[in-house]
Structure 1
């Protein structure tokens, strides 16, 4: 959260704070809050040589200049320099303390300005949540003890103006406990608070066959991010508070409601014994409340929800119970179901998936993934004109995993960016050697939605092209329609930037999405790949033939290259030849091959000069 704040503020120098420093700033804000009825502007400075440099301040008014000099490292000199630096911000007084330092060489100062500003008040409310969310219960206890000791020492050393700063141990302890367990924007429990509440509930409702049990309902809002973009962070906070009130008004069955993330909630309930309809009925009530709509600035906002439900007879561990509900909610997202219940089979699958995830992480870190290449042929000449890059992984215990399984797992566990970069880098490295004897050979690489929607994606591809000295026209990136749905504007910017260099783009799995034709008009695709589903029954199915011909006719009118994947038989090859398609790919022509075999076959397609040897 701190790095996010700093990146958003151009005045900030990207200096990462340590955990200890974050806690010290939090303590300072707490002490200031307890002695004043107004909120505070806060920030921190670095001490470099004889310069005090402002690193961050949560105020719209940025002091200029950003640094001032001081004569020595004594406390009076540093305080005088800080006062001079912060003069443009009108404040009755300020307080400061050292950040990471030794007794002789302090390296930073944190400060709090006592001012009156509603905007600062909102920022400080968020600050309390963001800082406390890092603190464990143990860290919090240490922090309270440390603040007391520091305060007492400062009083003895006469470093605190007793008239302007009062300190109430009980109040500070109470507030820190609250911020540790609650979302300050909505007042709901946070993840820490929910786990504490579940511990109490699980102890009070022991699991006995046929008796009541605890359930966690994990609620995700499919349109949550869009709603937030429309009404803002504060608007979404208010909407969720309204949602919480409606849920508690309609049913008394909910024990706790917690905000797990910006657009995710978790609810707990005690399920009565022998009542199979209790949970489905309750979940439908919750979904109905979300759909009914909420008024925001004279307009109506609707939330679309799906829910994962986990029960305490699968686990008595509070954290695992929440995780089980979360994974059930993910299953909803994939299946399209409104409600999914976590089962014993899911538990076993999750254990296996977690183990597999661990193995994959090791494989990515150790460069154990293997690239395979499947040729793409010119249908008229049967010559290899390119290849699609596929990923394989041979695990000593699990055996070989396919490209589809690997990509799916990488997308599920957040490794898709690393895996995608591995494929791009290694494939472009090989292609840079092949073009010495096959100058027009084009390498096709699949790109995921998360990759193409990264603002820096085009720059990374450009850097790799330069690093491996690969001409842009020798690279083709394949995108599915789903890649473009999540963030079209960023995807379009990346595509346009790379296309301007000469990189080619193909729309993969064409014909399976509702908006494919629309994307052909809006984006500079040079080719479309007809999904293999249309080819599997093409010989005997007249409807598939009609759809196939319609697609190829449109492609020709738009001057797009037609690539047909999944060609497995001579009959299919003859059909696409008669339909004047351009490129074929499939087992009929060649199976995917590891690098050494592929390069050997490629040499036969493009005979090498005697002096050239592939590494």
Structure 2
């Protein structure tokens, strides 16, 4: 029972109020008033839920108090139970008219009185509960209304016949109908749906939801046309409203405007498939076009060509003029190449300065050779950016389906190989992929794998070719020559893996490992009593490395080899790239006590000025001159001149490639002190070289 129920007993007889208070104990908060003159004030102060009022009071009668209570707010007025000894109907009628709701007869039956009050308390609690429920329902309904009015989706609710009951503001905007105008109208009249592509009328999913009692999603490509003829792309669903008995009471349609989303999706799809700089298809779209064309070529039994185009020396444009000019050049080339694009031909930018053209071999399509010629013409046309005029060239590689490739990956790989081959020929060259090229590619892959494995496992092989004093026939030095073994233990030709190392950038690791190995071997010979100077070849790329001096110093420090037993051989091409850097590098190495030898002298630039400027110690006569010196007067004169030049500049001489006794004798007579070649000894392993030193009993040879 509700303990907060307030009960006020108004009776001028104190005994009666005490009895009633006792009888009603536990039903709520019990108050009493024995003075009818202040009864109204008590009611106003206490605001009781129930009043037990005696009608027969001397000063102010119960009827007068009822009349005053009747003037109070009906929502706050208490329930009045009158206590009376009157039994006539007129008195009861008058009391009821003044607002009394029940009667308790005198003498009061206390138990019956308590039961009556209990019933009224129950009614009061029910009324309070109902009022609270109504208040909560109103709050929930208001929250739902505000939510529906504020959400970004359109919401339409209908009755069970499909007549509109409610539209939120978004639905009103998208349909063009106001809440008032749409009220009671059929959903199809308010919400007109079409197929966005075919413009065919769609059945409204809400009607289907009502008929089939299930949630129904909108069809794809749904478009709503508003009352004001505005079109919106929409999506979402309709659902029936079913009561606890399973009866359909109505339906709700929830939908959203996806016009901007679709537009953004289209734009994002375009951006993800096109190059931003040239607006050409990018690599992603190129692969898709290739896949489509390959499928058609397979069905139609015709061929398909892929042209991969690379702009020659574009790196120098970027480095010399800046990337902003480079971007302008790429955009210009892309614009020109786009002229070849049509429904059959795809032109794409693969990345950087590379472009691709996909050409199916069907009728009304330019032949590949003619297209290649046109591409060269287009790229080589002079053009102006700002105040400067530019002219470019390109290299093109071609792969053909199904002649040399059956998959996209193979076509791309083969075209790239052919393009690389074209770049080795000359500017504006085109090369088709071939079986021979494939074999070369496969060979390079094997070489690359073998070389990387050897470097990773420190498994390089270094052979040493002895250098002999041509007068005494004593060993006075050795040249370290790197070798790489394949999986079968066979040696890979040096020019093959050296070329690969140069192109792949592995030459730096290769050169450092060879240098370390040679220094360690020379240190062992020295400790065994054979003070032999070892010569190590340094490639042009290695020589351009600013860390070379530090690498040489670390190799000497790590091995413990005195610097006077190390000689670095450099080619003429390594010297002429950058005079200032070359002089600085050579000077630093020379100051460490390391000898510098100029390899293959006479085959390159052979400028006397850099012989004078650079701190060189040794000149090596190239074997091409040595092999021809006895049969070719010009070759003989060159050898003679180099020997005289070395004497004048106080440089030591080494003749390479001595293969006959006649060559050896002639070189010695001309004044060449040192030589190497197959006549004296082929290159050999470190162990074999150590045995050769021991056998020759060369123990006192000092570095020259």
TM-score (norm 2): 0.56
Task: Check the 8 A contact 2:618/2:652 in 1, yes or no.
Answer: yes
Aligned residue for 1:70?
A: none
Aligned to 2:103: none
Is the contact between residue 217 and residue 308 of structure 1 (CA under 8 Å) also seen in structure 2? yes
| Residue 383 of structure 1: aligned partner | 474
The change in CA–CA distance for 1:427 and 1:242 in structure 2 (over 3 A counts) is same
Deviation at 1:176, TM superposition (A): 6.5
Going from structure 1 to structure 2, the CA distance change for 1:212 and 1:458 (only over 3 Å counts) comes to: same
Q: 2:543 aligns with which of 424, 427, 452?
A: 452
1:299 aligns with 2:388: yes
Residue from 343, 352, 375 that aligns with 1:286: 375
Whether 1:599 and 2:684 are equivalent positions in the alignment is no
Question: How far apart are the structure 1 equivalents of 2:454 and 2:433?
Answer: 29
SS of structure 1 residue aligned to 2:322: helix
Closer/same/farther in 2, CA of residues 285 and 560 from structure 1, 3 Å limit: farther
Aligned residue among 328, 338, 342 for 1:248: 338
Displacement after TM superposition at 1:241 (Å): 1.4
* Distance in 2 between residues matched to 1:298 and 1:399, nearest whole Å: 58
CA contact (8 A) 1:527 1:563 kept: yes
Deviation at 1:207, TM superposition (A): 7.5
Shift of residue 599 of structure 1? 0.9
C-alpha separation in 1, matches of 2:331 and 2:568: 44
**Of the candidates 225, 229, 237, which is equivalent to residue 315 of structure 2?**
225
2:298 partner SS: coil
Distance 2:609 2:268 in 1: 53
CA 1:436–1:215 in structure 2 vs 1: closer, same or farther (change >3 Å)? same
Distance 1:255 1:576, change over 3 A: same
Find the residue that maps to 1:586 and give its secondary structure: coil
1:237 paired to 2:327:
yes
Q: Relative to structure 1, is the Cα distance of residues 361 and 607 closer, same or farther in structure 2, using a 3 angstrom cutoff? A: same
Cα pair distance change 1:587/1:213, threshold 3 Å: same
The 3 A distance-change label for structure 1 pair 428 and 246 is same
Task: Give the counterpart of 2:348 among 257, 275, 291.
Answer: 257
Match of 2:664 in 1: 573
SS class of match (2:481): strand
Distance in 1 between the 2:410 and 2:440 partners?
14
1:266 to 326, 348, 355: 355
Distance 1:486 1:502, change over 3 A: same
* CA offset digits 1:566-609 (Å, max 9, x no partner): 10100111121122123211011211111111012223456569
Secondary structure of the residue aligned to 2:501 is: helix
CA distance in 2, matches of 1:174, 1:325: 32
Aligned to 2:572: 481
Distance in 2, matches of 1:456 and 1:553, equals 35
In the TM superposition, what is the alpha-carbon distance from 1:527 to its structure 2 partner? 2.1
Which residue does the alignment assign to 1:547? 638
The one of 588, 597, 606 aligned to 1:497: 588
Distance in 2 (alpha carbons) for counterparts of 1:488 and 1:193: 47
3-state SS in 2 of match to 1:340: strand
Answer whether contact 2:337 2:347 (CA < 8 A) is retained.
no
CA contact (8 A) 1:476 1:505 kept: yes
Superposed displacement of residue 232, structure 1:
0.9
Q: Which residue is 1:368 aligned to? A: 459
3-state SS of the aligned residue for 1:477? strand
Separation of aligned partners in 2, 1:522 and 1:228: 33
Distance 1:603 1:330 in 2: 49
Deviation at 1:318, TM superposition (A): 2.2
Q: State yes or no: 1:399 paired with 2:490.
A: yes
User: C-alpha displacement at 1:214, in angstroms?
Assistant: 2.2
Range moving further from structure 2, 374-383 or 594-603: 374-383
Distance 1:533 1:237, change over 3 A: same
Q: How does 1:141-290 map to 2 (within 5 A)?
A: 181=273, 183-206=275-298, 211-221=302-312, 223-249=313-339, 255-261=346-352, 264-270=353-359, 272=361, 278-290=367-379
**Which of 652, 656, 665 is the equivalent residue of 1:561?**
652
Does the CA-based 8 Å contact 1:239-1:294 persist in structure 2? no
Matches within 5 A, 1:320-331: 320-331=410-421
Mapped contact 1:216–1:321 kept (Cα < 8 A): no
How far is the alpha carbon of 1:192 from its aligned partner?
4.2
CA distance in 2, matches of 1:543, 1:473: 36
Q: 2:620 aligns to what SS in structure 1? A: strand
Q: Contact (CA 8 Å) 1:375, 1:585: kept in 2 or not?
A: yes
Residue pair 1:248, 1:254 contacting (<8 A) in 2 also: no
The 8 Å contact of residues 271 and 278 in structure 1, kept in 2 or not, is answered as no
Structure 2 CA distance, aligned partners of 1:383 and 1:417? 34
CA contact (8 A) 2:305 2:368 kept: no
Structure 1 residue 584 corresponds to structure 2 residue 675? yes
Which residue is 1:430 aligned to?
A: 521
Q: 1:326 to 1:467 in 2, by over 3 A?
A: same
Q: Take 1:490 and 1:242, find their aligned partners in 2: how far apart are those partners? A: 37
> Which of 380, 384, 405 in structure 2 is aligned with 1:315?
405
Tell me: CA distance 1:397–1:440, structure 2 relative to 1, closer, same or farther (3 Å): closer
Which position in structure 1 is the counterpart of 2:10?
none
Q: Distance in 2 between matches of 1:507 and 1:445?
A: 12
Contact conserved, 1:391 with 1:402, CA < 8 A, in 2? no
User: In 2, Cα distance between the equivalents of 1:181 and 1:383?
Assistant: 71
> Could you list the per-position Cα deviations for residues 15-54 of structure 1 after superposition, in whole angstroms to 9, with x for gaps in the alignment?
xxxxxxxxxxxxxxxxxxxxxxxxxxxxxxxxxxxxxxxx
Q: Unaligned 5+ residue runs, structure 2?
A: 1-259
Distance 1:296 1:275, change over 3 A: same
Normalising to structure 1: TM-score of the pair? 0.63
- Alpha-carbon offset, residue 191 of structure 1: 4.1
Q: CA deviation at 1:375?
A: 0.9
- Counterpart residue number, 1:20: none
SS in 1 for 2:330: helix
Could you report, residue by residue, the CA deviation over 1:367-399 in whole angstroms, capped at 9, with x for unpaired residues? 332111001123233322211111223335262
Counterpart CA distance in 1 for 2:461 and 2:685 is 8
- Indicate conservation of the 8 Å contact 1:195/1:319, yes or no: no
Conservation of the 8 A alpha-carbon contact between 1:309 and 1:342: yes
Number of aligned residues: 438
